[in-house]
Structure 1
Amino acid sequence: MDELIARVSAAIGVDAGVARTAIGHVLAFLRKELPDGPVAEFMNQMAGAHQAADEASAGGESAGGLLGGLLSGGLMGLATKLNALGLDMGQIQKLGHEVFGYAEGVLGKEKVREIANSVPGLSQFL
């Protein structure tokens, strides 16, 4: 997890705490949308992944307020949570590229493609 946090922090220009929370939101989203298969495998192989997702999920409701609660589903809900961290769309896209690039190193290209193809709109972040 530390390597991914460092990669994301450098790529999107935020401190490690914001990077960890942003990654946690992405992982929580993926775990919710695709609880089994490659997502579970990825999270089980990355120390701290489940904890980061749990912390982001727990903090996400209060951080996003009413709007975050209303838009908590799908990619729009994820984008709302990431915007609440101060990330713009360019940073969100870079975040996605870094997370999926890292996942590709852990799982391989085919399993990452399977994840991306399972959620409409997610493939734009590969």
Structure 2
Amino acid sequence: VAEKTVGIILGFLRKDGPAEPVDELVKSIPGAEEAIAANSSGGGLSSLMGGGLMALGSRLMGLGLGMGEIQSVARELFKFGRAKIGSDAMDKIIAGTPGLSQFA
């Protein structure tokens, strides 16, 4: 579930976030490309909801995660990202991705 969660979140960031810092983040995480590919949305409910943060939340809740768990995973990912690519790049991702600041 953890690998799926990270893959889904990184896939969302790649789609909806600022390209350059997100690519830097993905490159800094071993296995990230594979996790994104294995958990990319093939349509279904996510496409019906139009994507974005609501679709991300629905996909993660579909894995059995509650909102508190989703926030915890996001905060840990952001903390890891700051350690790997720096606060400035991570702040660009958070600021440049609609709705993401509520999880930072």
Same fold by TM-score greater than 0.5:
yes
Aligned ranges 1:9-20 → 2 under 5 Å: 18-20=1-3
State the TM-score, normalizing by the size of structure 2: 0.91
Match of 1:49 among 21, 29, 32: 32
Match of 1:37 among 20, 25, 35: 20
- One-letter amino acid of the counterpart of residue 56, structure 1: N
Task: Flag structure 2 segments of 5+ consecutive residues without an equivalent.
Answer: none
Deviation string, structure 1 residues 49-83 (Cα, Å, up to 9, x no partner): 011011010xx437xxx433312511001000001
- One-letter amino acid of the counterpart of residue 25, structure 2: F
State the TM-score, normalizing by the size of structure 1: 0.76
Distance 1:21 1:84 in 2: 11
Look at both structures and tell me which one has the larger radius of gyration over its CA atoms.
1
Aligned residue in 1 for 2:98: 120
Please tell me whether residue 84 in structure 1 is matched to residue 67 in structure 2. Answer: no
Distance 1:72 1:51 in 2: 24
User: Structure 1 residue 45: deviation in Å?
Assistant: 1.9
Distance 2:83 2:98 in 1: 23
Task: Flag structure 1 segments of 5+ consecutive residues without an equivalent.
Answer: 1-17
Relative contact order (C-alpha < 8 Å, sep 6+): which is higher? 2
Aligned residue in 2 for 1:7: none
CA contact (8 A) 1:100 1:112 kept: yes
Distance 2:46 2:19 in 1: 25
Q: What is the RMSD of the two structures over their aligned residues, measured on CA atoms?
A: 1.5
Number of aligned residue pairs:
104
Please tell me whether residue 23 in structure 1 is matched to residue 6 in structure 2. Answer: yes
CA contact (8 A) 1:72 1:78 kept: no
Identify if the C-alpha distance between structure 1 residues 19 and 32 changes in structure 2 by more than 3 Å, giving closer, same or farther. same
The structure where helix makes up a greater share of residues is 1
